[in-house]
Amino acid sequence: DIGELCLQSAQCKSGCCHRVSGLSLARCAPKAAESQACSPKSIYGVYYKCPCEGGLTCDADKTIVGSITNSNFGTCKDPQDSRRR
């Protein structure tokens, strides 16, 4: 449940185990909504920014350096929006 301590995102109903900094305890958090900051899928299972809610994509830097340094944050966008314009 939201707010419970976690070690990996699979433990959370939301699918996001989130920590504020490298030293803080990780807790389950809700997924990011449209226009909120997000992370693409983490290889570590813990996020500094949660991935997007279903149907939204995380428009982020997907370089390998970004995923190693955990700094590849982006913004949740509705992929349908770009097609409408």
- At 27-72, the pLDDT tens digits run 999 999 999 999 876 656 788 899 999 999 988 766 555 555 555 6
pLDDT at 42 (0 to 100): 66
Which pLDDT belongs to residue 13? Answer: 94
CA distance 30 to 53: 8
pLDDT at 85 over 80: no
pLDDT attached to residue 17: 94
Residue corresponding to tokens 């929006």: 81
> What CATH fold (topology level) applies to the domain 4-83?
Lipase, subunit A (2.10.80)
> What is the per-residue pLDDT across 8-23, written as a single tens digit (0 to 9) for each?
999 999 999 999 887 8
Sequence ranges of the domains in the chain? 4-83
